Amino acid sequence: MKLFHYTIGIKVESILESGVIRTSPVKPPYPEKPISWLSSNATYENSALKLGMLGGESMIMTLEQMEQQGQGIYRFVFDTENLDVEVMPWSLLRPRCKAKPKIIKRLLDRANIAKSSPAEWYGTLDQDLPIATATLEVGVMGNDGKLVWMEVCKPTVDTSKVLQVTVDEAKALGLGVECTDETWKAMHGGAQ
């Protein structure tokens, strides 16, 4: 089964750097357990839309606004057969996360407002989700207003949490990459 973690460009670098999708909330009140969120929605998980301010009012941003203000829209694509962690549907996460009823109500109210379906929610419980087997994709708004997903790179993460990407892939992610004269010479046998 394919599952997706939707995010924005300004958060991609920290995810790639850490090698994991972190659980949320970071430090929930006892006995609540945090969740690393995924979705089975292959188009976009509307509950991942961020809140923004417009004219002094808080509102859920559109995909276009998130693309502009968040430095792009991205998603990590996971195949559950390649995961070494247990991923559960919302129907199991809900009782096991032990969140207070008001927290659950807030999540479900937000889902309703965003026109999101909790039946599409999945996640890990109390465990970060490694991205080593994930593929990173960028969402591009087509001329028809539809979101099209294109693969950026397949992150390679080893146990030391070192990410390996080409310079072009890093630049496509918007990461600042510089090549010194010494690095260039070493890579190209002294040629400039």
Q: 74 exposed, middle or buried (CB, 10 Å; 0-12, 13-18, 19+)?
A: buried
Residue 22 counted as domain residue = yes
For residues 50 and 63, give the distance between their C-alpha atoms in angstroms, rounded to a whole number: 9
For residues 175 and 14, give the distance between their C-alpha atoms in angstroms, rounded to a whole number: 11
Residue 183 counted as domain residue = no
Residue 165 counted as domain residue = no
Q: The pTM is what?
A: 0.76
Residue 7 counted as domain residue = yes
Residue 114 counted as domain residue = yes
* Domain that residue 29 falls in: 2-155
CA angle 45, 127, 91 (to 5 degrees): 50
Per-residue pLDDT tens listing for the chain (192 residues): 999 999 999 999 999 999 999 999 989 999 999 999 999 999 999 999 888 777 788 878 888 888 888 889 999 999 999 999 999 999 999 999 999 999 999 999 989 988 999 999 999 999 999 999 999 999 998 888 889 999 986 555 544 544 555 555 665 665 554 545 554 444 444 444
Q: Which residues on neighbouring strands pair with residue 73, listed in sequence order? A: 8, 139
Residue 97 counted as domain residue = yes
Overall number of domains in the chain: 1
